[in-house]
Amino acid sequence: MTPMEKQNYYETLELSPKATWKEIQMAYELAKKTYAGDGLASYSLFDEGERDNILDRIEEAYHVLSDPKKKSKYDAALAASGTDSASASEAASLPPSVEVPIPEQITGEVIKALRQKSGVSLEEIAETTRININYLESIEMDRFDFLPAEVYVYGYLRQIARIIHCADKVVEGYMQVYRTGRQLKK
């Protein structure tokens, strides 16, 4: 789990990047209630200063995500750089020994190899991310026509990358392979 100060706005509100406007509202209301002064679930874990700090982050995240213009700018920045600070910091903590030489073409096989290298099973990923295991399998087998639209696959890849600790360029690389694969099918 990323340290709080390095989380992106979605992580702060515990939302998926695909969250709808309604979901953002609900998450915000819940978060405010959770970390308010009399929050039954939080007072014994966080002191007042910590809760204020969390509330500030929540407000900041909501300020951006609730405003369609600001949100789309933020989303674009998040996607373009591919390095929200969260994954950047995790990539930086990668020990050199775990690095597998990364080939030019990031096919599903490469993702699979990286995953196996990090000792995480598909089931474990499915369990933590709630991504349907059939999709996870399809990613590793390059079954592009079984996969949903690009935005979703991108989201999945980012979640997988976070768990198996691979660099953003792997995600980008796979997305290129995915796009080409889909185009060919058409």
Partner 1 sequence: MLNGNGIGRHTPVYRDLFEEIEISRKEVWAVGGGKGGTGKSFISANLGVSLSKMGKRVLLVDADLGCANLHTFLGVDPVMTLSDFIQGKVSDLEKVLTKTSIPNLYLLSGARDYLEITNPKHIQKVGLIQRIQKLQFEHIILDLGAGTAFTNLDFFLSADVGILSVLPEPTSIENAYRFIKSAFYRHFQKWAQEPLIRKMITNAMHEKNERGIQTPNDLINHIASMEGAVGKKLQKAVLSFSPRVIVNQVRSRDDITLGFSIRSSCSKYFGIKVDYVGYIEYDDHVWQACKKKNPLVIESPYSSSARCIDRVLSNLMKKDELKLESVIRTLGV
**Which residues does 140 contact at the CB level (< 8 Å), separation at least 6?**
108, 109, 111, 112, 115, 122
When binding is defined by CB under 8 A, the residue of 98, 100, 133, 141 that contacts partner 1 is: 98
Q: Which stretch binds partner 1 (CB under 8 A): 75-83, 119-127, 145-153, 177-185?
A: 119-127
Instruction: Tell whether residue 23 is a contact of partner 1 (CB under 8 A).
Output: yes
CB neighbour class for 158 (10 Å; exposed up to 12, middle 13-18, buried from 19): buried
Instruction: Tell whether residue 46 is a contact of partner 1 (CB under 8 A).
Output: yes
**DSSP letters spanning 106-173:** --HHHHHHHHHHTT--HHHHHHHH---HHHHHHHHTT-GGGS--HHHHHHHHHHHHHHHT--HHHHHH
Instruction: Tell whether residue 48 is a contact of partner 1 (CB under 8 A).
Output: no
Instruction: Tell whether residue 27 is a contact of partner 1 (CB under 8 A).
Output: yes
Q: Among residues 31 and 170, whose Cβ is nearest to partner 1?
A: 31
- Positions touching partner 1 (CB under 8 A) are 1-4, 14, 22-23, 26-27, 30-31, 33-34, 39-46, 50, 54, 90, 93-98, 118-120, 124, 127-128, 163, 165
